[in-house]
């Protein structure tokens, strides 16, 4: 029989990730703060739990995919958290995006209870979650990582152990920095092209054929072309990651001027009431600065 798995947090990312595990034949127990989100997975064969603690009593490997560090602490270390129901040797895999320091602190507390923890943030969006093609960067004990690697490979096309506890979250911040600056570059190129009256679709095709080609240009630039600002990943969540990156950099006195600029541009989105829109809405900020409608 396959390893019983628990999954906490069934939102845009957690829902399809949990479904992939269920489709792979793993016995799955689920919990979500909004119980309504459990129903599709329960209908597909998952077992609902009344709390993270109850879920942990039934699972040997437990995934969490929640908003930020306070939510991870609550579902893992709170009064009804995983830490009160999990047996010694249980593996908690946090796929949320939180600060590296928070990941280390939670891992240390669980270790005192003889519970293992891996910080394993993901990249690839809801589409990658549904297809099982996520990029997963994992921090924690390598022996524990190797033990659960077959499970992680159900969810990710690229699954890499990158170092001790907290390192997975650090690499995720590096990923977000690269994404943010790449997205700004695409938005700036489109803003200039639009001002000049160029065909943005043609501009994209030309850029894709040369050194400027990128994942953002291929997959997210079409959202700018169609004025589609519905979120796959919201500005609010991206701002959380950029804040964590800037705080981590401040601790090490590492200058991140580009990251700080993008963070401020997204603050303009937030001020305009656009925090729940897609991160491609940075293009709207640039157009407004140019005195043009987005």
What is the domain count for the chain? 2
Which residues participate in catalysis according to the annotation? 172
133 lies in the same domain as 215: no
Contact status, residue 30 vs residue 4, Cβ threshold 8 Å:
no
Say if 202 falls within a structural domain: yes
Task: Please check whether residues 253 and 216 belong to one and the same domain.
Answer: yes
153 and 41 within one domain: yes
In this structure, the answer to whether residues 187 and 249 fall within a common structural domain is: yes
For residues 185-203, one letter each, b for 16 or more C-beta atoms within 10 angstroms of the residue's C-beta and e for the rest, the string is bbbebbbebbeeeeebeeb
Q: Per-residue DSSP letters for 183-252? A: HHHHHHHHHHHHHTT--HHHHHHHHHTSTT--HHHHHTHHHHHTT----SSBHHHHHHHHHHHHHHHHHT
Same domain (yes/no): 125, 250 = no
Per-position DSSP letters for 44-108, written without gaps between them: TT-EE-SSHHHHHHH-SEEEE--SSHHHHHHHHHSTTSGGGTPPTT-EEEE-S---HHHHHHHHH
Give the CATH number, domain containing residue 138: 3.40.50.720
- CATH code at 225? 1.10.1040.10
Looking at residue 125, its pLDDT comes to 87
* Same domain for 134 and 27: yes
If asked whether residues 129 and 196 sit together in one domain, one would say no
Q: Is residue 151 part of a domain?
A: yes
Contacts (Cβ under 8 Å, ≥6 apart) of 267: 239
Last residue of a domain, one of 163, 189, 220: 163
For residue 85, the enclosing domain spans 5-163
pLDDT for residue 292: 84
Q: Is 227 contained in some domain?
A: yes
219 in the same domain as 112: no
Q: How many CB atoms lie within 10 A of CB 36?
A: 8
pLDDT tens-digit profile, the chain (294 residues): 799 999 999 999 999 999 999 999 999 999 999 999 999 999 999 999 999 999 999 999 999 999 999 999 999 999 999 999 999 999 999 999 999 999 999 999 999 999 999 999 999 988 899 999 999 999 999 999 999 999 999 999 999 999 999 999 999 999 999 999 999 999 999 999 999 999 999 999 999 999 999 999 999 999 999 999 998 789 999 999 999 999 999 999 999 999 999 999 999 999 999 999 999 999 999 999 999 877
Q: Is residue 294 part of a domain?
A: no
Indicate if 135 and 281 belong to the same structural domain.
Answer: no
- The predicted structure's pLDDT at residue 232: 79
159 and 179 both lie in a single domain: no
């Amino acid at each position: 029989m396959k390893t019983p798995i628990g999954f906490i947090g069934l939102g845009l990312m957690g829902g399809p990730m949990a479904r992939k595990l269920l489709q792979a034949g793993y016995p799955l127990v689920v919990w979500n703060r909004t119980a309504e989100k459990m129903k599709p997975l329960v209908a597909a064969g998952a077992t609902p739990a009344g709390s993270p603690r109850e879920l942990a009593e039934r699972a040997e490997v437990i995934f969490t995919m929640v908003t930020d560090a306070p939510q991870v602490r609550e579902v893992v270390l709170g009064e009804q958290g995983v830490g009160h129901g999990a047996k010694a040797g249980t593996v908690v895999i946090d796929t949320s995006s939180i600060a590296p320091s928070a990941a280390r602190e939670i891992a240390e507390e669980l270790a005192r209870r003889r519970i293992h923890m891996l910080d394993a943030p993901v990249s690839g969006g809801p589409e990658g979650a549904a297809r099982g093609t996520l990029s997963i960067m994992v921090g924690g004990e390598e022996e524990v990582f190797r033990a659960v690697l077959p499970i992680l490979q159900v969810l990710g096309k690229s699954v890499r152990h990158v170092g001790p506890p907290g390192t997975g979250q650090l690499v995720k911040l590096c990923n977000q920095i690269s994404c943010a600056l790449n997205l700004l570059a695409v938005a700036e190129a489109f803003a200039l092209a639009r001002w000049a009256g160029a065909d943005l679709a043609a501009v994209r095709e030309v850029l894709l054929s040369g050194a400027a080609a990128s994942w953002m240009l291929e997959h997210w630039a079409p959202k700018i072309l169609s004025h589609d600002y519905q979120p796959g990943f919201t500005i609010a969540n991206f701002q959380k990651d950029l804040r964590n990156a800037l705080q981590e950099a401040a601790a090490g006195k590492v200058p991140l001027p580009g990251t700080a600029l993008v963070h401020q541009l997204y603050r303009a989105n937030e001020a305009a009431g656009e925090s729940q829109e897609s991160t491609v809405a940075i293009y709207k900020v640039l157009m407004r600065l140019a005195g043009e409608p987005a």
